[in-house]
Amino acid sequence: MQKEEIKRKDSSVMEGMQSIRSVIAGNRAGVNDRRITEILVDASKVKTLSRELGWLKRVSLEMGFSIRECEGSEIDEISLGRTHGGILAICTERTISPLDGDQIKENGFYVMIEGIEDPYNFGYALRSLYAAGVDGIVLDERNWMSAAGVVARSSAGASELFPVFKAKPTEAADLFSRKGYSIVCADRDTPYTLEDAEIRFPVFLIVGGERRGISRALLDRADLKVKISYGREFRAALSAASAATILAYEIFRQNRNK
């Protein structure tokens, strides 16, 4: 299988302890109904993973999954990457609930990422958004959550810890607007720069992919459109992950003591 096909393959296999811990934490917190059904451990790594396995055996009594030692070649055959460290989890799929008004908290911070074309970039964006305190992620029907293993690894497990909802982009913007949220869009063509903008919670931030950007229908619904200033003349767009990071941290900075 070619590299591009591998990273786009649907998979609920979680590779490595960080991803496994995040699935368990998300399930315990009630933000994620994904369950582990079986954990495979490279028999040659059991001693190295003894502490992790002791914890997992205790958790398995609570959550009802099995733990099986196997040859490393079996793990390599199932995994999409090679950074699993000799352990992976076979999981169920996750339910992504349709967005409705009851799920939106007051004075919150939600983000929609529209048009990202790579699951790794999607995961990198989620990692930054989680660290910046975002309350939840809204996704279009076409998204990368089916490639859960890749997204979990690239997001350092953040994808499993977020409340995640699905909605048509314009319907999501209209719903947040009715809930009193400011709709903020990243737009390179606006005269307003991020550093000069005042952005207060509650906020629904929309970030587009670097190729297609944000649709006109969404831009027309924005209360505020901002662009990220560059330190020199540069015509290329930032990656969606980089743009999301900068925008989210500036919004976090402005609201951190509120």
CATH code for position 242: 3.40.1280.10
Picking from 89, 86, 110, 213, the residue whose alpha carbon sits closest to that of residue 163 is 110
115/213 Cα distance (integer angstroms): 7
For residue 116, the model assigns a pLDDT of 78
Give the residues of the chain that fall short of pLDDT 70. 1-10, 210-211, 258
Give yes or no for a contact between 92 and 34, defined as CB atoms under 8 angstroms apart.
Answer: yes
What CATH number has the domain bearing residue 49?
3.30.1330.30
Whether 75 and 112 map to the same domain: the answer is: no
The reported pLDDT for the residue numbered 4 is: 44
User: How far is the C-alpha of 32 from the C-alpha of 241, rounded, in Å?
Assistant: 23
Residues 34 and 131 in one domain: no
Domain total of the chain: 2
Q: Do residues 156 and 177 share a domain?
A: yes
Segment (H or E) for 14: strand 13-15
Q: pTM, whole model, 2 decimals?
A: 0.91
**Tell me, what's the pLDDT at 2?**
44
pLDDT computed for residue 38 by the predictor: 97
- The reported pLDDT for the residue numbered 3 is 43
Supply the DSSP symbol for 11.
B
Rounded Cα distance between 179 and 203, Å, is 10
Structural domain range at position 210? 97-255
Does residue 111 share a domain with residue 53? Answer: no
For residue 193, the 8-state DSSP code is B
Query: What was the pLDDT predicted at 117?
Result: 76
Q: Which amino acid would we find at residue 115? A: G
Domain boundary residue among 40, 72, 91? 91
Query: According to the model, what pLDDT value does residue 133 have?
Result: 97
3-state secondary structure of 206: strand
- Cα–Cα distance for residue pair 60/38, rounded to 1 Å: 9
Domain termination residue (choose one: 57, 91, 125): 91
Q: Please report the pLDDT score of residue 147 as a whole number.
A: 86
Q: Both 72 and 187 in a single domain?
A: no
Residues 204 and 106 in one domain: yes
Q: What is the pLDDT of residue 152?
A: 93
Contact 184, 224 (CB under 8 A): yes
**Long-range contacts of residues 55-58, Cβ cutoff 8 Å, at least 24 apart:** 56/20
Buried b (16+ CB within 10 A) or exposed e, 166-184: bbebeebbebbeeeebbbb
Which residues is 90 bridged to in the sheet? 13, 38
